[in-house]
Amino acid sequence: MGAVPPATRTIRSARRAGPVRRAARPWAVAGGVPRDRGGHRHRRSARRLLRARRGRRRPRVGTPAAAPRDGEPGSGGVLRRCREAAATWFAEHPDPDVPRSVIHGDFTPWKLLFAGGRLTGLLDFEATHHTFQVADFALPWRGHQDDVLRGYDEVRALSELEWHLVQPTYWAWLLLGVKDALAAHDRAGPGGHEPPNLRWQVAHARRHSPLIAARTGTTPPWS
């Protein structure tokens, strides 16, 4: 027999740990799959996924149930202003004329498999849904990883409207996380529970993208 391809060896080694089960039912063949970290360059990843591609609904703007209480003054105001800016944009563009398709929905570098410098696999499709194509890059962009957007734009040039859509879509994703965190805290009830930790969302909301600022002329809503 010939040599086993690297990608096959990777999957086999991961499966030896056994399947992941939830509620006594199989959920995944493995809890984690090793990856080639050397291949995960932001611009390259964006180009490869878009070339390979050639629901949950559009991200809604989450409404925080209460002011974030993460111990950092002003953080609640940052999230509220992001929500207001995103809600305003979508209210003014209720049905933006941009390319749509089924997207992965949680496209991040650690979901990609590489072998020999080539994209060989994509993991975790439970968030797959039909929406704006640029929404697939809201999470890996992280509010400031501009090479993700540059890589996408090199394969399929973004329209002017799509450039303006990136930021409010990203804020919508962040605010859905805020909504879920606050709802979980409320379900836990009073007594001895720590306030919800929203530092991750606040830190990402505060990130600045020179590329988006240059292309859209927008400034952060708290500046």
Q: Domains of the chain (ranges plus CATH)? A: 35-216 (3.90.1200)
Count the alpha carbons within 13 Å of 34 in the hemisphere toward its beta carbon: 14
Q: How confident is the model at residue 59, as a pLDDT?
A: 44
**Residues 174-187: pLDDT tens digits?**
888 888 888 887 87
Q: How confident is the model at residue 147, as a pLDDT?
A: 92
Task: Judge whether 140 and 62 are in contact, CB under 8 Å.
Answer: no
Cut 0.85: pTM above it = no
Closest CA to 121 of 43, 38, 52: 52
Q: Work out the average pLDDT over 196-222.
A: 86
The whole-chain average pLDDT of the chain stands at: 75
Position with higher pLDDT, 186 vs 13: 186
Q: How confident is the model at residue 132, as a pLDDT?
A: 92
Contacts of 77 (CB under 8 A, 6+ apart): 222
